[in-house]
Chain A
Amino acid sequence: MAVRASGGGVLLELVDVVKHFPIHQGLFPGRRADRVHAVDGVSLQVRRGETLGLVGETGCGKSTLARCATRLQTLTSGRVILDGHDISTLSRRELRPFRRELQMVFQDPYGSLNPRRRVGSIIGDPLTVHQAAGGPARKRQVQELMELVGLNPEHYNRFPAEFSGGQRQRIGVARALALHPKLIVCDEPVSALDVSIRAQIINLLADLQRELDLTYLFISHDLSVVRQVSDRVAVMYLGKLVEVAPVAELYRRPRHPYVNALLSAVPVPDPDRADRRERIILSGDVPSPVHPPRGCRFHPRCPKARRRCVDEEPALVPRGGDGAEHPTACHFPVEAGEDLVHAHPTIDQPDREPPTDLRRVARSIR
């Protein structure tokens, strides 16, 4: 999507959002043994009119963050501020008026449409619930929406099973658009689609953004998709943000070692270049979110880990002297020209296993 002038204010602000899931063990409730630290203190601003990409490996908490931002989940702590209104503790009923401004497109185009309902009534649901339109007006609006997202309005009476995956995702987009929201949270909207269909949906979202002045929080595990759609990108690791930057800057000069490793693992379509390129090999697996590592959560796998990384948790702040740097949560951010491939940690990394080939990891998370 075209890089547009940032500014125009903050539409959605997350302040220190925490979401823990208790793990119940045994027969009796109340004995909560452990908690999954799905989202552990994330602060993030989505600016009006932009597309903010949120990337991370599977299980890093990005979908949970999306559900906290849309208040489909209750927060453990923290605040969600939508257009100046604190919606973090509102009940479902109190949230209803805010649903007009804040909609969501779901990951699974098969699971997110009720198989027993006709497409017209699915898309018209927001209009019915908010009593925005009824009868013939509703049908007309639904058909306009179908046209807008590139569906044949004649298929108003069909069932979801009669559509392909890409068409179903268009239905999901039409439902999200019905109330003319300001912000749409897209939770991996293309990851369940064929590569050939992805581009269509991404282009559709881009067109709609231009046409309808939409703001997107776009979640994906696919670095190339995020690069294509985003104005800014936030990278998540194990429930925390590690780096937030304008898209070009992040891909040109990532500061966090994790982001460096991720980007070095993105497949290059040119085999000659791919062979010449050196990849940063991370050791071990992503630690369990039940017992996240103390200090910097990346320290058990980081090629640059030092004593301080274990002792002190790095804040997400601009690093370096000039102040123009984008924020990164690393005590020792990667400098231009630094050689991470041959870097060695100066501390023991207890569960240092045979190095994981990140290309394999990248393949598994794509």
Chain B
Amino acid sequence: MTLTGPAQAARDIGGAGVAPAIEGRSPLRLAWARLRRDPVAVGSATVLVLLAAMALAAPAIAHAVGHGPDDQYHDVGLTTAGLPVGPSHRFLLGTDNLGRDILVRVAYGARISLLVGVAATLLATVAGVVVGLVAGYLGGVVDLVLARTMDVVLSFPYLLFAIALVSVFHPSLAISIFVIAFFSWAAMGRIVRGQTLSIREKEYIEAAWSVGSGTLRVMFVEVLPNLVAPVIVLATLLVPTAIVFEATLSFLGLGVAPPTPTWGGMLSDSLSFYRVAWWFPLFPGLALLATTLAFNLLGDSVRDALNPGG
């Protein structure tokens, strides 16, 4: 199929007879370039990388200072009255009510927080995308059922339900992740459903039908790539919510069982001591604040990068 004459001429006039291009820059790659120029994004990403490094290096930190996360130092870690000791050269961030090193416990707590935050968000994202895509795309009765289900999940008094669920299945890391994902997927599902409803009406969907694409192909090849941007933004914003949720569960004693260090559990333990030991609630609280703030700021930056001018 080669054509000379008029079509060639048409190409010379209207065709892109410019310098050969190597590779088109995808919308996501352009967003990535914008993100890298955003100081807020770079700053919060740096904080998150440091937190992740701290979580990964928790055993190394424990080794360096010579205190295990669950080691209790009743002699040097507590005052004669049995109260926590403040920051010193021996315990850089002080100790808790059982004479354990807060620095080491905060580092270990980062593991739980990040693991739960990321795992729960991944689960919620996969579930939300699939349900939202199916509901929005297929419409009709399927949509009616799925959309109402999401509404019901969103209208649960989630903390009460979480407490009930966790107390039925004994508290554990897996239960925490599952419970948090269960209360997060509906938010993702709603966003995805709404986007799908609008994308479904685009002419390129009709064009896909006209070349003979099947339902699954249209859903996953035509619709799904257009959902990437809103899904990334929402997922980034779901992580801090999940981390706070996990901290809340731990604070209430429904998260990961003690003595495993978690930020929420440490905050809970510090409740009776904050008047005499300011360092006890401060450092886990700061860690929690830094993590959620960094994720939220990063999420905002990602949204701005994906919707320039929007």
- Contacts from A to B (Cβ < 8 Å): 67, 70, 72, 92-93, 95-96, 99-100, 103-104, 106-108, 111-119, 125-126, 129-130, 144-145, 147-152, 154-155, 157-159, 161-163, 166-167, 170, 172, 175, 178-179, 197, 200, 203-204, 207-208, 211
Contacts and interface: CB of A to CB of B under 8 A. Distances in A.
A316 B6 CA distance: 39
A152 B210 contact: no
Interface of B: 1-3, 5-8, 10-11, 13-18, 20-27, 202-204, 206-215, 217, 221-222, 225-226, 228
Give the interface SS of chain A, mostly helix, strand, loop or mixed.
helix
Contact of B27 (A103, A104, A119, A159): A159
A219 to B, nearest CB: 14
B213 to A, nearest CB: 5
B27 A116 contact: yes
Given A104-B210, A106-B207, A150-B15, 20 more contacts: A99-B210, A104-B207, A106-B206, A112-B204, A114-B204, A114-B225, A115-B27, A115-B226, A129-B213, A129-B214, A129-B217, A151-B15, A152-B16, A152-B18, A157-B24, A158-B24, A172-B207, A200-B14, A203-B10, A207-B3
Contacts of B20: 152, 154
Nearest to B211: A126
A99 B1 contact: no
Contacts of A163: 16
Given A111-B204, A114-B225, A149-B7, A162 B24 contact: yes
Nearest to A118: B24
A125 B203 contact: no
B6 A203 contact: yes
Which 4 residue pairs are nearest across A and B when measured between Cβ atoms? A150-B11, A158-B24, A99-B212, A116-B225
B12 to A, nearest CB: 8
A37 to B, nearest CB: 22
B211 A125 contact: yes
A116 B202 CA distance: 13
Nearest to B6: A207
A359 B63 CA distance: 88
Contact of A111 (B8, B24, B203, B211): B203
A70 B27 contact: no
Contacts of A179: 211
A148 B7 CA distance: 7
Contact of A155 (B13, B21, B27): B21
A257 to B, nearest CB: 35
Contact of A148 (B3, B23, B210): B3
Contacts of A203: 6, 10
Contact of B228 (A92, A116, A145, A158): A116
Contacts of B13: 200
A147 B89 CA distance: 74
B16 A159 contact: no
A112 B207 contact: yes
